[in-house]
Amino acid sequence: METEKKDILRGGQFLVKETNCEDVFTPEDFSEEQQMMRDSVIEFNDRKIIANRERFENKDYAFTEECMREAGEMGFLSVAVPEEYGGMGMGFVSTMLVCDYISSGTGSFSTAFGAHTGIGTMPITLYGTEEQKQKYVPKLASGEWFGAYCLTEPGAGSDANSGKTTAKLSDDGKHYLINGQKMWISNAGFCNMFIVFARIEDDKYITGFIVENNPENGITLGEEEHKLGIRASSTRQVFFNDTKVPVENMLSERGNGFKIAMNALNVGRIKLAAACLDSQRRITTTGVQYANERKQFKTPISEFGAIKSKIAEMATNAYVGESASYRAAKNIEDRIAIRLAEGNSHQEAELKGVEEYAIECSILKVAVSEDVQNCADEGIQIFGGMGFSEDTPMEAAWRDARIARIYEGTNEINRMLSVGMLVKKAMKGHVDLLGPAMAVKDELMGIPSFDIPDYSELFTEEKDMIAKLKKVFLMVAGAAVQKYGQDLEEHQQLMMAASNILIEIYMAESAILRTEKNAKRFGEDKQKEQIAMAKLYLFNAVETVKKNGMEGIISFSEGDEQKMMLMGLKRFTKYTNFPNVVDLRNTIAEKVKAENKYCF
């Protein structure tokens, strides 16, 4: 099998292993089938979602449901569902692609789509029994039924296992009675079925159940929440009052709910990153089109350096987000294929395949959700006063983007998870961080080389820089682990600083690898702007690493150890040839301006 021959990185290993650019998947590698799928999603998004933007802003919940139904008819709800349950059974990359291009019209539809196809359906496809899958998944795949996911409660948000909802077995042992209050439930207003997490007796962990939405079975809904953004996404409280659920509707085993919830979220996180990509493309396009038209001081504002800088940074972040999201998606797809070839069931293969890259999923969720927010913010700025008006699309894009930093695990939780999971993997011996961390320590003790490296070939200096940034992470995180051991998790500000470094490494490396691969096959001259974007992103990343590295080092070390690490930080973030960032930004902006759209 082709996938077996390739050297596929394990989750988190990107930090300690070099990746060959030929081994990364890039958006330029989409198959013909994937491109066709993309075109049909774009057509749907343009015609149905974007053309009706104001209906979403006017809280037309029924219209969201109508769009979901049409998405079902067009097959978009079924891409990730195996064929035997009425789905298309497409690979992970294709499901990311659909999520990416269907999500940019409005956050309202994007949330409804994500909640249904992700957390509303996946727990059954991944953990359901054969009977449960046969009964529910085909209906969910076709859009005949819609799903919702009830984990959060008034007192249980980030601390998801602390919910008070209970499930009590009936005397005849035939069903559970569910009682409790769930909050912030997307799709609650129109769903036919809930995945509900509840606690049985004094169990340590919650249990998952499939609960059909029947108002005569003790299920009531709160009013629609009035929200900052995603205004036509139905979000309600759901109350369960002696709701009868047949015992055969338990998901997986008793006490397995927390695991189900977390694994569903891993998939949700990477798909949320995908869901923030096309928004950035569209915001950049709308921004540049306005900037090319709008004149001040008798000049199109796109001629001004201050605006060019924004356009360049917006396009760059979108490009980098794409690079990293599809790189990780293909790793997951390949890992699933390997597990299938080894004889795992589809369920097992998919679960383990995604779980393997949980670190990358968290990294992507944080990075891309923050990029889309910044992109929309700068989009408003390009529009000036008009950006603040409801009559232009920037205002809604900005409000809609805000939620991505909160749901699917807040960005604080995901930042800590990314580093926490990595440290755990190292402790279990799944990723060797100790060896490389010791090597960095030895290197710091030694005399630095004064040879002037040959950086004449494309990206040699940049790849060297990535290798050095990895050393910064190993140096800082390694010393912190040594100092605090298991208690590192108590030192959240250090975890956050470490995760900021980790995130930048993954994102910057992904952009460089994508561009290097493309420069090799399409020619450097055809990748001029992409090369500029990869270099610009790396420059910004180095600055972030410097700041966060410094913050960590001066906060937990002292004396000679501190001096040595500060010296290391300086050495590992030093450019031999600084990039001319103004030139880089101008190169990128001129291309976007000339094309009058995001064009990469």
Ligand X SMILES: Cc1cc2nc3c(=O)[nH]c(=O)nc-3n(C[C@H](O)[C@H](O)[C@H](O)COP(=O)(O)OP(=O)(O)OC[C@H]3O[C@@H](n4cnc5c(N)ncnc54)[C@H](O)[C@@H]3O)c2cc1C
Chain contacts with ligand X (rule: CB under 6 A) = 115, 149-152, 157-158, 184-186, 227, 230, 235, 403, 406-407, 410, 412-413, 492
Rounded Cα–Cα distance for residues 42 and 48 (Å): 10
Residue closer to ligand X, measured from CB, 21 or 185: 185
Strand residue runs (E) in 192-254: 193-200, 207-212, 219-221, 235-246, 250-251
Rounded Cα–Cα distance for residues 575 and 564 (Å): 19
153 CB-contact burial (10 Å; exposed 0-12 / middle 13-18 / buried 19+)? buried
Residues 538 and 462: beta-carbon distance below 8 Å: yes
- Nearest approach in angstroms of CB 228 to ligand X is 9
Residue closer to ligand X, measured from CB, 406 or 567: 406
6-17 burial, b at 16+ Cβ within 10 Å, e below that, comes to eebbebbbbbbe
- Nearest approach in angstroms of CB 160 to ligand X is 7
C-alpha to C-alpha distances, 267 to 193, 356, 408, nearest whole angstrom: 20, 11, 10
Task: Compute the 3-state secondary structure of the chain and give helix, strand, coil in percent, each to the nearest 5.
Answer: 65, 10, 25
Q: Is 408 a catalytic residue?
A: yes
Strand residue runs (E) in 119-192: 147-150, 166-169, 175-186
Strand residue runs (E) in 77-187: 147-150, 166-169, 175-186
Rounded Cα–Cα distance for residues 103 and 323 (Å): 18
Q: Which of 408, 462, 504, 529 is catalytic?
A: 408
Note every long-range contact of 290-298, with CB atoms under 8 Å and residues 24 or more positions apart, other chains counting: 290/382, 290/383, 290/386, 291/382, 291/593, 292/593, 292/596, 294/384
- Nearest approach in angstroms of CB 410 to ligand X is 3
Residue closer to ligand X, measured from CB, 186 or 325: 186
392 CB-contact burial (10 Å; exposed 0-12 / middle 13-18 / buried 19+)? middle
- Nearest approach in angstroms of CB 146 to ligand X is 12
- Give the CB-nearest residue to ligand X: 157
Residue closer to ligand X, measured from CB, 169 or 496: 496
Rounded Cα–Cα distance for residues 491 and 471 (Å): 21
At residue 219, φ and ψ (nearest 5 deg) are -110, 120
Other C-beta atoms closer than 10 Å to the C-beta of 388 total: 14
Residue closer to ligand X, measured from CB, 237 or 587: 237
Residues 442 and 448: beta-carbon distance below 8 Å: no
Rounded Cα–Cα distance for residues 296 and 533 (Å): 28
Rounded Cα–Cα distance for residues 366 and 412 (Å): 8
Residues 179 and 241: beta-carbon distance below 8 Å: yes
- Nearest approach in angstroms of CB 62 to ligand X is 18
Residue closer to ligand X, measured from CB, 92 or 197: 197
Residue closer to ligand X, measured from CB, 206 or 337: 206
Cα angle value 277/7/29 (rounded, 5°): 35
Residue closer to ligand X, measured from CB, 267 or 541: 267
- Nearest approach in angstroms of CB 223 to ligand X is 14
175 CB-contact burial (10 Å; exposed 0-12 / middle 13-18 / buried 19+)? middle
- Nearest approach in angstroms of CB 59 to ligand X is 13
C-alpha torsion 372→376→379→385, nearest 10: -170
Residue closer to ligand X, measured from CB, 6 or 402: 402
Residues 431 and 16: beta-carbon distance below 8 Å: yes
- Nearest approach in angstroms of CB 220 to ligand X is 17
Residue closer to ligand X, measured from CB, 231 or 585: 231
Bridge partners (DSSP) listed for residue 182: 238
- Nearest approach in angstroms of CB 512 to ligand X is 31
CA 427 and chain centroid, separation: 25
Bridge partners (DSSP) listed for residue 219: 240
Active site residues: 408
